[in-house]
Amino acid sequence: MNHLFKQLLFYTILLCGVIACQEENQIPFIKPDKTGIENIVIVVIDGPRHSETWGDATRQHIPRQDAISQQGLLFTNFKNDGITYTLSGHTAITTGVYENVVNNGDEVPSNPSIFQRFLKAKQASPEKALIVTSKSKLNALRDTKDLDWNGSYLPTIDAADRVDQLTYEESIVLLNKHTPHLSMIHFRGPDIKGHGADWNGYLEKIEETDQYVGELWGYIQAHAHYRDKTLLLVTTDHGRHLDGIGSGFVGHGDGCPGCRHIYLLAIGPGVPQGEQVSSHYNQTDIAPTVANLLGFPWQGDGKSIYEIVN
């Protein structure tokens, strides 16, 4: 009888917690079984088109990602369903909400980010949430307009206008130094060369960032803090206009298929290996997925990505 009473009490408390989360319009956290994920690293490659990455059957420009995809899940119908510019794309990834944010870095997002929510929930020091970028304007991702969060629980950030090689090197230094549980690394190369109308340079930067992704996964697997405990997510903020090697690749920013069609690659503990997912997900689904896996409350649009959390 005592055992039965304890069971009833447990499920009553659990039900009340779920109802409370729903009343606050939060996604109740459900800890997935069989995952040993303690760290998440998000890599955002700025502005490559699907047609030069996973849309190319030869995968000639992304051989390293193609190789490591056999250890994880590739989401082939992943989209930017919002504003197809850099700041708005990154805001959707980090806050789980599509918002038209000024693209020069002068405006912070309206909603707190996964980094702030993580630091508050875990009462962790700022270096346990890390952002490293190749564009200084992405410093705007550090904070929010929300008065309940503004200026609080700010992650460590290193945002500078620099070549991706320096960003990658700095990322490794900071990953070693701080051993964060939640990180985001941004590479700008394809976008910079695209806007410069440099077709060959654009392809070279896709290949260069692909190299960094491969090296980063190797680093994760060789480091005791990260090995077999880290989920790597690789995605993009937006695509580019379509028309082959003509002027289309130079720009982006509307609702055309080339600008919207991006991708998500997920590799880590518990993630099915060597599979492709055609279900439609978008950038706002990354934030609740991170919250679900790392175990902190979430509010926002989007939904947890079932194939990853389950």
The pLDDT score that the predictor gives to residue 300 is 86
Write the pLDDT tens digit of every residue in 205-251.
999 999 999 999 999 999 999 999 999 999 999 999 998 777 899 99
The pLDDT score that the predictor gives to residue 169 is 98
Q: What residue ranges do the domains of the chain occupy? A: 1-30, 34-309
Residues in the chain, pLDDT under 50: 1-34
Output DSSP code: residue 299. -
The pLDDT score that the predictor gives to residue 35 is 66
Q: Tokens 């910079």, residue? A: 192
Tokens standing for 210? 């692909």
pTM of the entire structure? Answer: 0.89
The pLDDT score that the predictor gives to residue 36 is 86
Q: What are phi and psi of 9, to 5 degrees?
A: -65, -40
Cβ atoms 134, 160 nearer than 8 A: yes
The pLDDT score that the predictor gives to residue 17 is 42
What is the three-class DSSP state of 19? helix
CA-nearest of 33, 44, 79 to 302 is 79
| 34-309: in CATH 3.40.720.10 | yes
What is the distance, to the nearest Å, from the Cα of residue 164 to the centroid of all Cα atoms in its chain?
Answer: 17
Cβ atoms 141, 101 nearer than 8 A: no
